[in-house]
Amino acid sequence: MQAGTVTIGSFTGHGDATRAHGSVAVPAMATFVADDGEPLRVWRLGAGRPVILLHGLTCSHRDWSDAARSLATSHEVFAWEARAHGVREASGVAEPTVSRMAQDLANLIEHFGLRNAVLVGHSMGGAVALEYLRQFGSARIGAVCLVDHSPRLIATREWRLGVRGGSLLAKCLRGAAALGADVSGIALRLLGLASKSVPEESNEAAAVRDALARRNVRSLGHMMQSVLAADHRELLARIDVPVFAVFGGASPLYGRVPLARYYASVIANFRSVVYEEAGHSPHREMPGRFVADLLSFIDEAVSRTMHAAMRSA
């Protein structure tokens, strides 16, 4: 893998870009180059054990804004903009699939020399985190947090823990993947922007629509096709690091789906929590609670790792 070059620049709307100053986390935008030559941006702030924040479909690093700043008081935080997301259109070197994004994540981890990183993936970001584990294993990973994520998105006759195939959302997803639907409308549903946290008529929802209107529809379609095809159920029993899952009780995707019970039955070291009032983006809707729960999980994971090392010594 090529290491590439880091470029520190400005972060729009958040002042000058510098590294952590004292106990205050000051954001900096860095650019690393993936092994196929694609430049990718990552918001880097804080110091300590690395936490990598992986956003959902059509989101960006800003999706983690509040949570990232809180986490950065005790950890080094990397909130990336996945390929074909954010302000930069993909170059077309490679299609922005879940598999390719997992390779990008490996490039990020190697570029910054990260060890014992905590992967935190929301929705599509959860699929990227699991795909990374499938392709590269857990040698550089200390723990994983999945946010409102199912190992297979769409439900089938033999898989009941996804979005129902006959639902409007599932039909819209398939239509968008076939490049024949209103992609911005689908993205709004996926992001939970019609939930209590971000009303569909809000300025933020309008900004998302405007941003999506400028995206390459073919790239968005490939991303959706890849997310629809992702299936990590066979991987779960082989995960050998602690896993934490956060679900939104009012999520339009999984609000009534007993995913926590399923994960607990197949992952050896697993815990979960449901935010009953949250939608598909509990990390955005309840960032204070989310960070507190995530830090508690990380502390527990570190403690278990230390105890295991002592027992094996």
DSSP letter assigned to residue 138: S
Residue 1 pLDDT more than 50? no
In this prediction, what percent of the chain has a pLDDT beyond 90? 54
pLDDT of residue 186: 58
C-alpha to C-alpha distance for 230 and 128, rounded to whole angstroms: 9
pLDDT of residue 65: 92
Residue 54 vs residues 68, 164, 180: alpha-carbon distances, Å: 11, 25, 27
Residue pLDDT, tens place only, 163-173: 876 555 555 55
Q: Which residue has the tokens 């599509």?
A: 124
Decide: 152 and 131 in contact? Cβ < 8 Å: no
* Complete edge-to-edge strand list for the sheet that includes strand 270-275: 28-33, 39-45, 75-80, 49-54, 117-122, 141-147, 243-248, 270-275
Phi, psi dihedral angles at 69 (to 5 degrees) = -65, -40
Decide: 269 and 297 in contact? Cβ < 8 Å: no
Q: Is residue 207 part of a domain?
A: no
Q: Which residue has the tokens 């094996």?
A: 312
Residue 206 pLDDT more than 50? yes
Helix axes 217-229, 183-191, angle to 10 degrees: 50
pLDDT of residue 165: 60
pLDDT of residue 18: 34
Residue 42 pLDDT more than 90? yes
pLDDT of residue 223: 80
- What is the extent of the structural domain holding 98? 28-153+231-312
Highest mean pLDDT among 8-17, 139-148, 161-170: 139-148
pLDDT of residue 21: 37
pLDDT of residue 301: 86
Helix axes 217-229, 124-136, angle to 10 degrees: 60
Residue 59 pLDDT more than 70? yes
Name the band, by pLDDT with cuts 50, 70 and 90, for residue 183.
low
Concatenated DSSP letters for 156-221? -SS--SSB-TTSHHHHHHHHHHTT-S-HHHHHHHHHTTTSSSS-TTSHHHHHHHHHHHTS-HHHHH
pLDDT (mean) for 72-89 = 86
pLDDT of residue 137: 97
pLDDT of residue 166: 54
pLDDT of residue 238: 97
pLDDT of residue 60: 85
DSSP letter assigned to residue 304: H
Name the band, by pLDDT with cuts 50, 70 and 90, for residue 94.
confident
Handedness of CA 135, 137, 139, 143 (dihedral sign): positive
pLDDT of residue 136: 98
Q: Is residue 249 part of a domain?
A: yes
Residue pLDDT, tens place only, 101-129: 999 999 999 999 999 999 999 999 999 99
What is the CATH classification number for the domain harbouring 53?
A: 3.40.50.1820
Decide: 110 and 1 in contact? Cβ < 8 Å: yes
Residue 232 pLDDT more than 80? yes
Q: Is residue 89 part of a domain?
A: yes
- Two tokens, residue 213: 């209107």
Q: Is residue 127 part of a domain?
A: yes
Q: How many residues does the chain have?
A: 313
pLDDT of residue 54: 98
C-alpha to C-alpha distance for 297 and 69, rounded to whole angstroms: 18
Residue 53 pLDDT more than 70? yes
Residues 151, 153, 156: CA angle, nearest 5 degrees:
105
pLDDT of residue 205: 58
Q: Is residue 204 part of a domain?
A: no
Residue 16 pLDDT more than 90? no
Name the band, by pLDDT with cuts 50, 70 and 90, for residue 11.
very low
Quote the number of domains for the chain: 1
pTM beyond 0.85: the answer is no
pLDDT of residue 295: 97
If you average pLDDT over every residue of the chain, what do you get? 80
Q: Is residue 46 part of a domain?
A: yes
Bridging pattern class, strands 75-80 and 117-122 = unpaired
Phi-psi region of 121 (alpha: psi -120 to 50; beta: other; left: phi over 0): beta
| Neighbouring-strand partners of residue 21 | 24
pLDDT of residue 69: 95
Q: Is residue 201 part of a domain?
A: no
Q: Is residue 192 part of a domain?
A: no
